[in-house]
């Protein structure tokens, strides 16, 4: 028992130093008073930051936008990622590894680089608009719209959906699908009644990861959403570095963390509740 | 009258002939086993009948209907898989009801039919459990019930007992036969276990390297194996060199040597008598106690010979004892050396 603690001590120390302490400091900061003349007053505490967060419709708008963009990204990742993972699991031996690596390679490239890539494509005189102009069409406004943010987020998040789904597909007995067929089920029914319910734990983990990462994403909304299309993380950044109002930034960050936690836990509970008994986990 | 008929059925995977021109006809209500070592094409044959593997050439006819290229879902056959392939996210009842739901049977009918078949496989008490809460033998019964409830014309069993431990396997063997008799369903079972095939089948089809080498009733198969392979694969056998005597009867050679015949003699058909008597002489090298039987290995001029004697309660012969070996010569079986390929 004590040996176990001893062995996990380095990881625990790292965890405390790099996560718990900063998180605690942020929480304390969010209750500090801010004065534009003198800056953060670390010896006086107030709830004013939270009050102004809750009373300002601007923040509601930002939080709501962050929520629907993240939810839509998650939905799109499910719609694209689940079939992709299924096809992947059905591939023959050389191709499966090749395509799995292909799906994972984007993770090796920095999100910032990929976001710039998208802005080159989607910009006012980007590749796509150049093509449209060459064909005689009117240029489209794509960059700095929710479309650009969602597109890039789906691109970045897809591996996080495919990997857990693929893992749970590995556990499936292929004979179960044959059994369903022999009992008269069409291919669509096999998918809906036999495959999908069994991979729900994977889909659930995928949605949690994707939603969590999308809701707290910074680089993509920052680069592709621009000054107008703010999401929560970019607002936090503004508060810290433009307004220099650290306590307000910390307050928004804490609120994002709590909202994220609340949504993910309820979602987890909702889905798991439906499948827990059947899947025995 | 053939109910299920395989006509010159072939399956080729690239250059590999998995199943070569297999002909088989099964009558209604018959229990036929496909027996052979792994890789002999028996499972491929079953999968072609079920529709999971495409047929390269040949025909499959079920009750006068050509189903060679029909989709698995439209064949309506009952299939029991080696892994059972139960749906882990459904209760026993839902597993069994699946096929009926696909057939759009009314829910009250589903209930009665599922209850009936669960009673048949003696799982009534476990209807609301999930597969992971069941033992191997119980899962096997669920798989059987799920296949039977749709009242298929043919039941296909793919190595149904290979995942069970020895004692349970024997019990389930008889259980499968009981259920099969009770329902009267035409059944095709794939197995690599000769004891399984012999004990519960009406007929056994022996396959080797993609080809059918013998189709017979279990007793005939055991007593009249056609090839050295079958005589060794189905039960134990002593392979002895032989020749035809002046009356045209096969006889074992008196001395070691290449005989013109290859003869098979079952270990339990050999009598042990006093040294100096009998047809040939031998010396006991080892003996094994099998409970109801003693198994002796003897050294003779013709090489090692295995003899099985019933345990009649008297003291067994010790190792090193010299004995004579005798057998009724009509129990010698001439094997087809050519067919051993």
State residue B340's pLDDT score: 45
Quote helix, strand, coil % in chain B, to nearest 5. Answer: 30, 35, 35
SS3 of chain A: CHHHHHHHHHHHHHHHHHHHHHHHHHHHHHCEEEECCCEEEEEEECCHHHHHHHHCHHHHHHHHHHHHHHHHHHHHHHHHHHHHHHHHHCCCHHHHHHHHHHHHHHHHCCHHHHHHHHHHHHCCCCHHHHHHHHCCCCCCCCCCCHHHHHHHHHHHHHHHHHHHHHHHHHCCCHHHHHHHHHCCCCHHHHHHHHHHHHHHHHHHHHHHHHHHHHHCCCHHHHHHHCCCCCCHHHHHHHHHHCCCCHHHHHHHHHHHHHHHHHHHHHHHHHHHHHHHHHHCC
Q: Do B81 and A175 lie within an 8 Å CB cutoff?
A: yes
Instruction: Please tell me the predicted confidence (pLDDT) of residue A93.
Output: 83
Asked if residue A147 has pLDDT above 90, the reply is: yes
Averaged pLDDT, A229-258: 92
Answer yes or no: is A56 within a domain. Answer: no
Average pLDDT over residues A228-235: 91
Does A113 reside within a domain?
yes
Give the nearest chain B residue to A181 (CA atoms): B73
How close, in Å, is residue B59 to chain A by CA atoms?
Answer: 19
Between residues A226 and A279, the one the model is more confident about: A226
Work out the pLDDT band at A279, boundaries 50, 70, 90: low
A217 lies in which domain range?
A: 67-278
- Looking at residue B151, its pLDDT comes to 94
Mean pLDDT of A10-20: 92
Whether B98 contacts chain A with CB within 8 A:
yes
A180 and B79 within 8 Å at the Cβ level: the answer is no
Give ipTM to 2 decimals. 0.82
Shortest CB distance from A280 goes to which of B73, B130, B147? B130
Q: What percent of chain A has pLDDT over 90?
A: 66
Specify if A232 maps to a domain.
yes
Beta bridge partners of B273: B324
| Interchain CB distance below 8 Å, B85 and A179 | yes
Query: How many other CB atoms are there within 10 angstroms of residue A81's CB atom?
Result: 29
A278 pLDDT band, cuts 50/70/90, is low
Question: Per CATH, the architecture of B237-335 is what?
Answer: Beta Barrel (2.40)
Closest to B85 (Cβ–Cβ): which among A176, A193, A280?
A176
State how far Cα A232 lies from the chain centre.
13
pLDDT over 70 for what percent of chain A?
Answer: 98
Residues in chain A: 281
Predicted pLDDT of residue A1: 61
- What is the pLDDT of chain A when averaged over all its residues? 90
On whether residue A53 sits in a domain, the answer given is no
Strands B65-66 and B57-62: antiparallel
All residues at 6 or more sequence positions from A33 whose CB lies less than 8 Å from its CB, including other chains: A40, A41, A44, A45, A46, A48, A247
**What whole-number distance in Å separates Cα of residue A12 and Cα of residue B220?**
72
Q: Per the CB < 8 Å rule, is A183 touching B146?
A: yes
Instruction: Kindly give, in sequence order, each residue whose CB lies less than 8 Å from that of residue A136, ignoring residues fewer than 6 positions away.
Output: none
Q: Confirm whether A34 is domain-assigned.
A: no
Is B83 touching A (CB cutoff 8 A)? yes
Å between A97 CA and nearest CA of chain B = 23
Q: For residue A185, which residues of chain B lie inside 8 Å, CB to CB? A: 73, 98, 102
Number of domains in chain A: 1
Instruction: Return the CATH number at A145.
Output: 1.10.3720.10
Within-domain flag for A166? yes
Do A179 and B146 count as a contact with CB atoms less than 8 A apart? yes
The answer to whether B305 touches B298, Cβ cutoff 8 Å, is yes
Least CA distance to A186: which residue of chain B? B73
Residue B341's pLDDT is what? 41
Distance CA B203, CA B60 (A): 19
Interface of A with B (CB under 8 A): 173, 175-176, 178-186, 189, 193-194, 197-198, 275, 278-280
Range B2-230 has CATH code 3.40.50.300: yes
Q: Which range (A3-7, A165-169, A192-196) has the least confidence? A: A3-7
Region of residue A140 (left: phi > 0; alpha: psi -120 to 50; beta: else): beta
Tell me: pLDDT of A4 over 90.
no
pLDDT at A35: 83
pLDDT of residue B234: 86
The full set of domain ranges for chain B reads 2-230, 237-335
Q: Which residue of B has its CA nearest to A196?
A: B89
Low-confidence ranges of chain B (pLDDT < 50): 340-341
């Amino acid at each position: 028992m004590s040996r176990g603690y001893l062995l996990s001590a380095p990881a625990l120390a790292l965890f405390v130093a790099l996560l718990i302490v900063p998180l605690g400091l942020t929480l304390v900061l969010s209750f500090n008073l801010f004065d534009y003349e003198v800056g953060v007053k670390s010896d006086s505490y107030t709830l004013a930051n939270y009050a102004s967060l809750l009373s300002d419709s601007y923040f509601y708008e930002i939080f709501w936008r962050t929520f629907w963009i993240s939810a839509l990204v998650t939905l799109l990742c499910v719609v694209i990622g689940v079939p992709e993972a299924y096809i992947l699991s059905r591939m023959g031996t050389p191709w499966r590894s090749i395509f799995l690596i292909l799906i994972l390679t984007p993770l090796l490239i920095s999100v910032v680089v990929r976001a710039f890539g998208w802005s080159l494509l989607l910009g006012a005189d980007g590749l796509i608009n150049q093509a449209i102009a060459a064909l005689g069409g009117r240029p489209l406004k794509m960059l700095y719209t929710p479309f650009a943010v969602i597109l890039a987020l789906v691109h970045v998040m897809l591996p996080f959906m495919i990997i857990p789904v693929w893992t749970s597909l590995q556990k499936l007995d292929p004979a179960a699908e044959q059994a369903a067929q022999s009992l008269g089920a069409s291919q669509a029914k096999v998918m809906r009644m036999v495959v999908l319910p069994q991979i729900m734990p994977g889909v659930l983990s995928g949605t949690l990861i994707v939603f969590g990462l999308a809701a707290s994403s910074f680089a993509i909304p920052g680069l592709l959403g621009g000054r107008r299309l703010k999401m929560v993380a970019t607002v936090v950044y503004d508060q810290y570095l433009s307004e220099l109002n650290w306590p307000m930034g910390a307050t928004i960050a804490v609120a994002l963390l709590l909202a994220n936690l609340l949504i993910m836990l309820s979602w987890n509970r909702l889905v798991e509740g439906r499948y827990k008994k059947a899947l025995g986990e | 009258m053939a109910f299920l008929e395989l006509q010159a059925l072939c399956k080729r995977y690239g250059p590999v002939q998995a199943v070569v021109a297999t002909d088989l006809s099964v009558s209604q209500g018959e229990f036929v086993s496909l027996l052979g070592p792994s890789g002999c094409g028996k499972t491929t044959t079953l999968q072609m009948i079920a529709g999971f593997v495409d047929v390269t050439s040949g025909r499959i006819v079920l009750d006068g209907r050509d189903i060679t290229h029909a989709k698995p879902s439209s064949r309506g056959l009952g299939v029991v898989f080696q892994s059972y392939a139960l749906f882990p996210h459904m209760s026993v009842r839902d597993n069994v009801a699946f096929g009926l739901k696909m057939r759009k049977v009314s829910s009250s009918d589903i209930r009665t039919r599922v209850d009936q078949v669960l009673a048949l496989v003696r799982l009534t008490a476990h209807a609301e459990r999930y597969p992971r809460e069941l033992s191997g033998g119980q899962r096997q019964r669920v798989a059987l019930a799920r296949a039977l409830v749709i009242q298929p014309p043919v039941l296909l069993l793919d190595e149904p007992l290979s995942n069970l431990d020895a004692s349970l396997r024997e019990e389930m063997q008889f259980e499968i036969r009981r259920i099969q008799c009770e329902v009267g369903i035409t059944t095709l079972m794939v197995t690599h276990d000769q004891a399984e095939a012999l004990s519960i089948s009406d007929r056994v089809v022996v396959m080797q390297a993609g080809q059918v080498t013998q189709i017979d009733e279990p007793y005939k198969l055991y007593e009249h194996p056609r090839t050295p392979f079958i005589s060794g694969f189905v039960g134990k056998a002593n392979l002895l060199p032989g020749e035809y005597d002046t009356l045209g009867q096969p006889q074992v050679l008196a001395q070691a040597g290449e005989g013109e015949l290859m003869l098979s003699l079952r270990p339990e058909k050999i009598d042990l008598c006093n040294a100096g008597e009998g047809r040939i002489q031998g010396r006991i090298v080892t003996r094994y106690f099998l409970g109801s039987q003693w198994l002796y290995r003897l050294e003779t001029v013709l090489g090692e010979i295995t003899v099985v004697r019933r345990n009649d309660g008297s003291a067994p012969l010790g190792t090193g004892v010299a004995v004579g070996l005798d057998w009724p010569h009509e129990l010698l079986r001439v094997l087809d050396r050519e067919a051993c390929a």
